Amino acid sequence: MGLVMSKNIEVLSDKNALIARALQLILSRMKTAIQQRGLFTIALSGGSTPKPLYEVIAQQQLPWDKIHVFWGDERYVPPHHPDSNQLMARNVWLSKVGIPEENIHSMPTNDSEPRIAAAKYEQHLQDFFRSTSENFPALDIVLLGMGDDAHTASLFPQTEALSVDNRLITVGHKDGNMRLTFTYPFINAARCVMFIVGGVNKRSALAKVFAPEADNYQYPSRLIKPQGELWWLLDEAAGSELTS
Ligand SMILES: O=C(O)[C@H](O)[C@@H](O)[C@H](O)[C@H](O)COP(=O)(O)O
């Protein structure tokens, strides 16, 4: 096994422990962000792993008016489509707490052209962060999952989204299904990037992501090297071989 990517790799006993640790880290960074800047910004991932995390965040007593939620990627489907990442997070979390609707920054998926939607969301981000096109605004946390093909967000292996390094948002695709996604440099601009990865089916992809040499375009999670904090929270099933 090659060198692991960074000291912030934690292998937790099971999924519950993984979710509890992720919650702890998110709440501590939320507190710091609000103390220092008066608000907390987080980009959510889709998929199944984060669902119990969103459920437990919804049970916390938090200053919801200071919390802003974005998405790191979205399937290019209407907001009420069962595949929508936004719908999942609203159902298990956002609809259950007093977060103002204007703090929920969902990716637009109603344009006929995903490229136009990507540009609109990028403009929205630049307006929100009052950033210019020259620099990448820093979110407090970008929460990521990883597929068993080592994709993250909607940065899939051998796709053109992987080479977009001068935009915040681009169009991804998986098996012909269009997505909107943060670009890898925008993810890397975050103060903290947190992967939550569980299950034995992720083991081989993790080995490639942490290997000293491998093709970044075949294993896109290798592109995630933030100048801020990088956390890999893994359960035993996924990560036990990495730290042995
Ligand atoms: O839109 C998505 O599907 C996610 O953003 C995607 O990148 C997800 O994080 C991985 O596919 C892992 O998914 P699981 O957590 O379900 O394994």
Q: Is the alpha carbon torsion for 117, 140, 148, 185 positive or negative? A: positive
Read off the pLDDT of each residue in 206-215 and give the average, rounded to a whole number.
Answer: 96
Read off the pLDDT of each residue in 208-222 and give the average, rounded to a whole number.
Answer: 97
- Is the pLDDT at 141 greater than 90, yes or no? yes
Read off the pLDDT of each residue in 25-51 and give the average, rounded to a whole number.
Answer: 98
- Is the pLDDT at 2 greater than 70, yes or no? no
* pLDDT range class, residue 3, cuts 50, 70, 90: very low
Q: Give the distance (Å) from ligand 1 centre to CA of residue 172.
A: 13
Give the separation between CA 162 and CA 172, rounded to whole angstroms.
9
State the complex-level ipTM.
0.97
122 lines ligand 1 (CB under 6 A): no
| Residue with more model confidence, 115 or 3 | 115
Closest by CA to 2, choosing from 238, 218, 210, is: 210
| Per-residue pLDDT at 4 | 37
Report the mean per-residue pLDDT for the chain. Answer: 95
Q: Tell how far CA 29 is from the center of its chain.
A: 15
The per-residue DSSP string of the chain comes to: ----S-S-EEEESSHHHHHHHHHHHHHHHHHHHHHHHS-EEEEE--SSTTHHHHHHHTTS---GGGEEEEESEEESS-TTSTT-HHHHHHHHTGGGS---GGGB-PPP--SS-HHHHHHHHHHHHHHHHT--TTS----SEEEE---TTS-BTTB-TT-GGGG--S-SEEEEEETTEEEEEE-HHHHHTSSEEEEEE-SGGGHHHHHHHHSSS--TTTSGGGG---SSEEEEEEEHHHHTTT--
- Is the pLDDT at 103 greater than 90, yes or no? yes
Protein residue with its CA nearest to atom 13 in ligand 1: 47
Q: pTM for the whole thing?
A: 0.96
Q: Among the atoms of ligand 1, which is closest to the Cα of residue 144?
A: 9
- Is the pLDDT at 47 greater than 70, yes or no? yes
Give the separation between CA 55 and CA 23, rounded to whole angstroms.
10
- The structural domains of the chain, with segments of one domain joined by +, span 6-40+47-238
> Which fold, 6-40+47-238?
Rossmann fold (3.40.50)
Q: Give the distance (Å) from ligand 1 centre to CA of residue 65.
A: 27
Q: Give the distance (Å) from ligand 1 centre to CA of residue 196.
A: 10
- Is the pLDDT at 5 greater than 60, yes or no? no
- Is the pLDDT at 134 greater than 80, yes or no? no
